[in-house]
Amino acid sequence: MPDRKTHMPETQLHNTLRRYRRDLGLSQEALGDRVGVSRHAIMAIEAGRQVPSTTLALRLADTFDCAVKDLFRLDPVTELEVRLPPPRPAASASPPSPSSRVAVGRLGGGWTAHPLPAHATGAADAIVVEGGAAGFRSARVRPVRGMRQLERNVLVAGCAPLLANLAHRVGEGSEDARATWIPASSHRALELLAAGMVHIAGLHLSGGASSHANVEAVRRRFPGRRMLVVNLTRWRQGFVVAARNPLDIRDAADLLRPGVRVVGREPGTGADELFARLLADEPGGQPDFSGPVAEGHLDVARRVHCGAADAGVAIESAALAWGLGFVPLVEERFDLVMPASIAEIPPVSRFLDTLDDPGFRAEAASLPGYDTSISGHASTLEAESTGP
């Protein structure tokens, strides 16, 4: 049976301890002496940073000759102030508006929110009630999950569809962590990580099966910071084409043939960079890009499958998922990047532990197009200083 509590509004503890203490003419230290705790404990309780034990709450109520409920009550958290991600370059991107559904996580002592696609079927964390219009970087949202659920949510940005499987298993296997996949290109994911909008960024650059290209990108983006790079998977990227490749597309020159419709990718994606390198050696101009840019690997395959395009660049697993043909071009690593300082935070630590979970490994191994033989392998790097 589903846990109905996860959808109940969370509460925060409100107290009137300071007023009762002052009415009785007691200092924080004097009150602490009466109930057997330090002045700092009384200070933390009055400020709302500490929740008293049942025994301490009863002692405080006895001291003031009142009921515990006169000192402490639960107030529902009805709204949160959240930061919004920087705007996306894609023309189709739009800021969240009132009534938009968002995913929410806590980073750096504050709350961040990411708009969920209108077609997303997963449950939201909150609903926007005010703000979020173009040019605004903050909004107020109404949580539709408990605060503990929001506190333990790991936000992961990246383009690997396998992140959806991983995020599901994190939430399914732990009461101390959950995860939300934020679909994003490699460059967008690093941008969100640098802005403190996600805990983890997924990165793949077409530099071969070694980690060199990914590591160098992290060094450039985070100079002087200690970063952790953890492998999620290895895959092949290439041309997604119709089943049995009826147009016999084999290389970049074939994409320039008259009548060949090509799915474009958003600038900053690994696929777009691969496109650019392949076409740099072809003097015949640009392909006939068909329709708007695709929003990820699976979207490329979907468009080829439904006949809206003849080819596009994406990963092999996307082609196989739609029963399409695939022409391999490069092997790549997809790595997870995060500040090393957050790796031991319980929700993030649990997320990383899930990479070694037998259930996740068995499922990933059964999905065609993924190589998880080094999944979970981690390296810590000190990014190079930018100099004086």
- Rounded to an integer, the average pLDDT of 171-194 is 91
Residue 7: the pLDDT is: 37
Distance CA 344, CA 348 (A): 7
Prediction pTM value: 0.79
Using a pLDDT cut of 70, give the percent of the chain over it.
90
Burial-class residue 137 by CB neighbours within 10 Å (0-12, 13-18, 19+). Answer: middle
- Rounded to an integer, the average pLDDT of 351-361 is 93
Domain limits, CATH 3.40.190.290, in the chain: 152-388
HSE, side-chain direction, 13 A CA sphere, residue 367: 26
Element (H, E) at 286: none
Domain limits, CATH 1.10.260.40, in the chain: 10-76
> Of the ranges 96-105, 175-184, 251-260, which one carries the lowest mean pLDDT score?
96-105
Q: What residue type is 16 in one-letter code? A: T
Distance CA 142, CA 98 (A): 10
Distance CA 237, CA 316 (A): 6
Tell me the CATH architecture of domain 10-76. Orthogonal Bundle (1.10)
Whole-number average pLDDT of the chain:
87
Please, what is the Cα angle at 137 between 131 and 143, to 5 degrees?
Answer: 55
CA distances to 115, 218, 315, 383 from 159, rounded to whole Å, are: 16, 17, 10, 24
Domain 152-388 classified CATH 3.20.20.70?
Answer: no
Q: How confident is the model at residue 205 (pLDDT cuts 50, 70, 90)?
A: confident
